[in-house]
Amino acid sequence: MMVKTPQHLYCDTPPTILRNREEKFRTAKDNPFWYFVADIVFPAMIEKRFHALMYKGFENFEKRDKSKATVFYTNHNNWWDGILGYNIVRRLTKGRFRLMIEEMNRFPLFQYIGCFPVNKRSAQEAVKTLKYAAGMLNNKDINFWFFPQGIIRPPHYRPEVFQSGLAYLVQTAVKNAGGINLCPVSVNYTFLRQDKPEIVLEFGEVKIYHEFKEDRKEFCHKLEREFEQLCDNQQAQISKGNFEGYQYLFKERLSWWREIERRLKNIGMKDSNKQ
C-alpha cells in the first residue's frame, strides 16, 4: 500500500487531468430547498471546525457598482475555501452564490446551490465553461467566488500566478453586460490564542470596469502584484497581533473548562491590581 509523503501534497497538474475521468457538465441552479439545507449545513461545518471567522474591509464591497455582478477573487489553499465562499456570499452579501468546481461529479448536488464544473482535460471544455461563467455575469445579483490561481497552492505561495480566466471574465462582462466589479479577498487560516484555528479575511478595494482595453497577460500580472501585496500586508498585520478594524461573522463560545480558566485568570489579575 502506497502512503502519500509530504511532497505529494501539492501538484501543478489539475485533478481532472490526473484522474482522467469524464466530467458531466451541470448548469448552476438556485434551488430554494437545497439552499435551505446548505444554509444550515455549511455554517455548522465551518463553525464546528474553527473558533472564529473575522473579516474587515467589507465597506469596500459596498462601494461597488450595484448595477453589475461581482467577482470575488481569492487565494485557494485548502479544502475549506469553497465552503468559506458560500458562507461569505450567503451570510454577508446576501447575493446569488456562484462557484466553479473541478471534479464536481463527486458533488453533483452542488449544482443546486450555484456551483458548476470545469473540466481541464480539454482546453475546449475549459473555454466552454468560462463562456458559461461569463454569461452569468449579466445578472447584477451574481456574486462569483473565483480562484484565479486555477489550482490549490500552499499557504503564502509566492509569487502569485493567475491564469487567464479572470481577464477573460472581465473582458467578456464589459462587452456583454457593460461592466463588472472585481473584489480581491485575502484569506488566512491560522491559530491565534485558541485551541482551534481561526479564519481571518480581508476585502480589498473594489475595482469597477466599464471598459477593457488592456492586454490580458499584462492585466493578470497587474492583478497578481496587487493581490500579493494585499495578502502580504494582511499577513504582516497578523504577525504583529494587529486586528484593528476586524469584526466577527461568528465566534465560538468558550467551553466550560476554558470559561473556568478565564475566570481564574481574572481573579488573579484583580488580586494583583489591589497590590
Q: What is the CATH number of the domain that holds 204?
A: 3.40.1130
- In a domain? residue 83: yes
User: DSSP assignment, residue 252?
Assistant: P
- In a domain? residue 44: yes
Residue at 196: amino acid letter: K
Residue at 127: amino acid letter: V
Q: For the chain, count helices (H), then strands (E).
A: 8, 9
Q: Which three cell numbers stand for residue 28?
A: 448552476
- In a domain? residue 110: yes
- In a domain? residue 204: yes
Q: How many C-beta atoms surround the C-beta of residue 209 within 10 A?
A: 19
- 209 contacts 180 by C-beta, under 8 angstroms: yes
Closest by alpha carbon to 190, among 182, 178, 202, 179?
Answer: 202
How many domains in the chain? 1
- In a domain? residue 147: yes
- In a domain? residue 134: yes
Residue 63: the pLDDT is: 96
Per the listing, cell 469553497 goes with: 82
What is the extent of the structural domain holding 117? Answer: 11-274
Give alpha helix (H) positions in 25-149. 32-49, 58-62, 81-88, 123-136
pLDDT in tens, the chain (275 residues): 455 567 678 888 888 887 777 778 899 999 999 999 999 999 999 999 999 999 999 999 999 999 999 999 999 999 999 999 999 999 999 999 999 998 888 889 999 999 999 988 888 888 899 999 999 999 999 999 999 999 999 999 999 999 999 999 999 999 999 999 999 999 999 999 888 999 999 999 999 999 999 999 999 999 999 999 999 999 999 999 999 999 999 999 866 566 676 676 677 555 555 55
User: At a CB cut-off of 8 Å and minimum separation 6, what does 47 contact?
Assistant: 250, 252
User: DSSP assignment, residue 113?
Assistant: B
- In a domain? residue 210: yes
Residue 3: the pLDDT is: 56
- In a domain? residue 2: no
User: At a CB cut-off of 8 Å and minimum separation 6, what does 64 contact?
Assistant: 70, 181, 183, 206, 208
